[in-house]
Chains A and B, each alone.
Chain A
Amino acid sequence: MTEMTLVQAVNRGLFEAMRQDPDVLVLGEDVGVDGGVFRATDGLINAYGAERVIDTPLSETGIVGTAIGMALYGLKPVAEIQFLDFIYPAFDQIVSELAKFRFRSGGQYPCHVVIRAPYGGGIKGGVYHSQSTEAYFCHTAGLKVVIPSTPADAKGLLLTAIHDEDPVMFFEPKRIYRTATGEVPDGDHRVPFGQARTVREGEHVSIFAYGAMVPLASEAAAALARDGISAEIIDLRTLVPLDEAAAIASVEKTGRAVVVHEAARFCGFGAELSAILAEKAFYSLKSPVLRVTGYDTPFPYALENVYLPSAARIEAAARTVVREG
């Protein structure tokens, strides 16, 4: 075990994967000599050379499209998109090609590409360095969508992603890249997909979160505890595949649910989770499911603290669902 930050854990995960398998390679803008604008790929080029750590021209279409070609041929590319906000030139490659290669070839052409992208607000990044658009990808059948919130999960889920058989969108909460710290197992470390993590057990309300919202949910739970409200926090970790059983079991226990994400509310991931709870845990619910989310506006610069969910907003929503049922 070694204590490290979340971004260091991503880095360690990449080192480990490249050590394990010579077919693993990394490509993206500024990932080589510069070590990535957030330093997630720092040192890889010195260890593994420019053939396996590829600084690409400024073209997301090129990055993802060529990664798909490499994967078809048998390599295991890990593509970095510098910010999730800049993934859209590659959207066609992701939704039309990457997500559908296996299906449209009747299983002949699996297409195992991992796409890493820092996402989310809280770094004063304004409209284009802050967005949290995981829902687009969750909505596209054929893509797995993973969002870690701790260093250990970042490494463990990344290694699972790289050894998976399917395309994986791996979104990293850049706001907590350096503030989330913790012990991370050395060497190989895998965290399975489709298993939520219970951050804290509780009796009165289930708070569902992922990524940078998890530490805020913990903060809210601590404040609620001072007033005798016991909140259970579930870190979803993988949105696709989703651990529905864990979500349902938690609500069967607490009878109340708050879903937190920084993405806009309308058609966000919270809508899906709320629908699942309405379909499969309806008779356990004592009050309506509430969502604490970004607003249905583009992401603002000066007012990002207004836009983003806060511990206080999560706490207020939890008090409401407890009061009402």
Chain B
Amino acid sequence: MAKTARPASEAGPRPGHELSNDRLLAMYRVMAFARAIDERCLSLQRQGRIGFYVPASGQEAAQIGCAAALTDDDWLFPAYRELGLALWRGVTFRTLMDQFLGTSADRLKGRQMPNHYGYRERNLVVASSPIGTQITHAVGAAMAMQRRRAPQVSATFFGDGATSSNDFHAGMNFAGVYRTPTIFFCQNNQWAISLPRERQTRSATLAQKAEAYGFPGVVVDGTDIHAVFDAVATARERAVAGEGPTLIEAQVYRFGPHSTSDDPHRYRSDADLAEWKRRDPILRLREELQNSGTLTETGESELQDAIRREISETIAAAEGAPPIDPATLFDDTFAQRTPRLEEERAEFERLVREGVIRP
């Protein structure tokens, strides 16, 4: 049966999973950075300076608590709402801005909408938009890790809505059968666009779905970074010990719109949001750090100033970067351009010369 991980404040984390104040401060910095990036990018989108944005606000402790409990060798298979993972893995805001803008420096060559990124050297696999498809990939990678006897795990990130997808069930089933070193990290942010969690499934918890596939599922308070870290560290230990997968349901709330194309006022009340905001993961951790004397008032305001400065400078620099070379469109469909793609590229270049296309 799905178990609710004990709130860290009551029982405390399992031995070895305690977080030092220094570690917590490092996590807090990334969380605060993520929140500030969200706020700025939402306003950049409103001003028409980026085309689209998916905020992750409210989910920072879940994402960063999880990423911190993994090693950099573990492979992450994210969805599109995983800013905290990218930042924790060391992806710079500049790299992300180049992706949001589709500049010539964008590592994905302008191919994808903002937030759908991935960086091979960070073991952060590139995201796509279709819901749930990454889940089976994570299981396959874990099967490959087993075959190579690698001391790694794969972790996949998805929402409450994704638990209705084909790939969730296929992936959970394979993982159970092959006892793969996989962590299924579900961020239940209570909404799949306008559909509330209770209309997504009749199951009492999402975590309990693991039981049917023969492995443990746990519910954690995703606003409590200690609880998240503890649950993921435990799941990782199980995975590398050959004990198989774990499904973790981190209960959070999506503070913002689903994306900049969405108006949540059409389907949800501000009252719920206000209730959850009292458990804002960033405020919770800040208060803890202040109570332990790890973060002072001046420390906090210096941090916020530094974040603001870095964000402004990075945006200015990225906006000044040259746009992507349009001829790159014909690369990467295949390893080598086929004769047909060569022909289309030549046609495109002729149309540019003739002034028909002004890229």
Which bracket fits the contact residues of A? Answer: 35 or more
Least CB distance, A107 to chain B, in whole angstroms: 31
Interface mask (A309-320 → B, CB under 8 Å = 1, otherwise 0): 010110110000
Provide the bound-state CA to CA distance between A171 and B194, in Å: 23
Q: Which of A33, A37, A300, A306 interacts with B261 by CB under 8 Å?
A: A37
Output the nearest chain B residue to A310 by Cβ-Cβ distance.
B357
In the complex where A301-B113, A306-B359 touch, is A85 in contact with B329 (Cβ < 8 A)? no
CA distance A310 to B351 in the complex (A): 11
- In this complex, what residue of B is CB-closest to A130? B113
Give CA–CA (A126, B111) in the complex, Å.
7
Min CB gap A91→B, angstroms: 11
Report yes or no: B357 in contact with A127, Cβ–Cβ below 8 A: no
**Number of A-B residue pairs at CB separation under 8 A:** 128
* Nearest A residue (CB) for B350: A316
Q: Are the CB atoms of A58 and B51 closer together than 8 Å?
A: no
- Tell me if B356 is interfacial: C-beta within 8 Å of chain A: yes
Q: Given A58-B195, A302-B106, is A127 in contact with B359 using a C-beta cutoff of 8 Å?
A: no
User: How far is it, in angstroms, between the C-alpha of A32 and the C-alpha of B196 when the chains are bound?
Assistant: 12
Q: Which of B112, B132, B194, B344 contacts A126 (CB 8 A)?
A: B112
B199-223 interface mask toward A, CB cutoff 8 Å, 1 = contact, 0 = none? 1110000000000000000000000
Which residues of B are found within 8 Å of A59, using beta-carbon distances?
164-166
Q: Which residues of B320-340 have CB atoms within 8 Å of chain A's CB atoms?
A: 323-324, 326, 328-330, 333, 340
**A126 nearest CB neighbor, chain B only:** B113
Q: Which residue of A lies closest to B262 (CB)?
A: A37
B240 at the interface (CB under 8 A from A): no
Asked whether A316 lies within 8 Å of B356 as measured between CB atoms, the reply is yes
Interface membership of B84, Cβ < 8 A: no
Q: Among A35, A58, A61, point to the contact of B192 (Cβ < 8 A).
A: A58
Question: How far apart are the CA atoms of A88 and B323 in the complex, in Å?
Answer: 33
Instruction: Give chain B nearest CB distance to A89 CB in angstroms.
Output: 5
Task: Pick the interface stretch among B123-131, B284-292, B295-303.
Answer: B123-131
Give the nearest-CB partner of B324 in chain A. Answer: A302
**At the interface, yes or no: B52 with Cβ under 8 Å from chain A?**
yes
How would you classify the secondary structure of chain B's contact residues: helix, strand, loop or mixed?
loop
A85 to B132, CA, bound (A): 14
Query: Across the interface, do A295 and B193 meet the contact criterion of CB distance under 8 Å?
Result: no
Q: What A residues does B272 contact at CB under 8 A?
A: none
Q: How far is the CA of A35 from the CA of B263 in the complex (A)?
A: 11
Confirm or deny: A57 has a beta carbon within 8 angstroms of a beta carbon on chain B.
yes
Given A34-B266, A57-B200, A316-B351, CB of A128 within 8 Å of CB of B111 = no
**Looking at the complex, which one of A55, A85, A297, A301 makes contact with B341 (CB distance below 8 Å)?**
A297
Q: How far is the CA of A298 from the CA of B162 in the complex (A)?
A: 24
Output the nearest chain B residue to A313 by Cβ-Cβ distance.
B356
In the bound complex, what is the Cα–Cα distance between A33 and B165 (angstroms)?
21
**Across the interface, which residues of A come within 8 angstroms of B193, CB to CB?**
29-30, 34, 37
Complex CA–CA separation, A310 to B354 (angstroms): 14
Contacts of A88 in B (CB 8 A): 130
Least Cβ–Cβ distance between B246 and chain A, in angstroms? 22
Q: How far is the CA of A302 from the CA of B356 in the complex (A)?
A: 19
Q: Tell me the minimal C-beta distance from A126 to chain B in angstroms.
A: 4
Shortest CB–CB separation between residue B198 and chain A, in angstroms?
11
- Tally B residues with Cβ within 8 Å of A: 46
User: Is A296 an interface residue when CB atoms closer than 8 A count as contact?
Assistant: yes
Contact call A33/B111, Cβ cutoff below 8 A: no
- Please determine whether B324 and A295 come into contact, CB atoms closer than 8 angstroms: no
8 Å CB interface, A266-325 against B: 266, 295-298, 300-303, 305-307, 310, 312-313, 315-316
In the assembled complex, how far is the CB of residue B199 from the closest CB belonging to chain A, in whole angstroms?
7
Residue pair B131, A58 in contact (C-beta under 8 Å):
yes
Chain B 276-312 per-residue mask, 1 if CB under 8 angstroms from chain A, else 0: 0000000000000000000000000000000000000
Which A residues from 203 to 217 make CB contacts under 8 A with B? none
In the complex, which residues of chain B have a beta carbon less than 8 angstroms from the beta carbon of A30? 193-195
Q: Is A200 interfacial (CB 8 A cutoff)?
A: no
Q: How far is the CB of A172 from chain B (nearest CB, A)?
A: 16
Select B164's contact among A62, A86, A129, beta carbons within 8 Å.
A62
In the complex, B119 has a CB within 8 A of chain A: no
Is A125's CB within 8 Å of the partner chain B? yes
B111 x A300 contact (CB < 8 A):
yes
B165 lies within 8 A of A302 (CB)? no
Could you tell me if B333 and A301 are in contact, using CB atoms closer than 8 angstroms? Answer: no
Report the Cα distance A268→B130, complex, angstroms.
23
Cβ < 8 Å to A, chain B residues 161-186 = 161-162, 164-166
Residues of chain A within 8 A of B194, CB atoms compared: 30, 32-34, 55
Cβ distance B219 to chain A, nearest Cβ, rounded Å:
20
Given contacts A125-B113, A127-B112, contact A29 B195 (CB under 8 A): yes
A28 to chain B, nearest CB (A): 11
Flag whether A178 is at the interface (Cβ < 8 A): no
Does B255 count as interface, using CB distance less than 8 angstroms?
A: no
**Closest residue of B by beta carbon distance from A35:** B266
How far apart are the CA atoms of A317 and B25 in the complex, in Å? 62
Jot down 8 A-B pairs with beta carbons below 8 A, ordered by A. Answer: A58-B165, A58-B195, A59-B166, A128-B113, A295-B329, A298-B111, A313-B357, A316-B354
Interface residues of B (CB under 8 A from A): 51-52, 102, 106, 110-113, 116, 128-132, 161-162, 164-166, 192-195, 199-201, 261-262, 266-267, 323-324, 326, 328-330, 333, 340-341, 344, 348, 351, 354, 356-357, 359
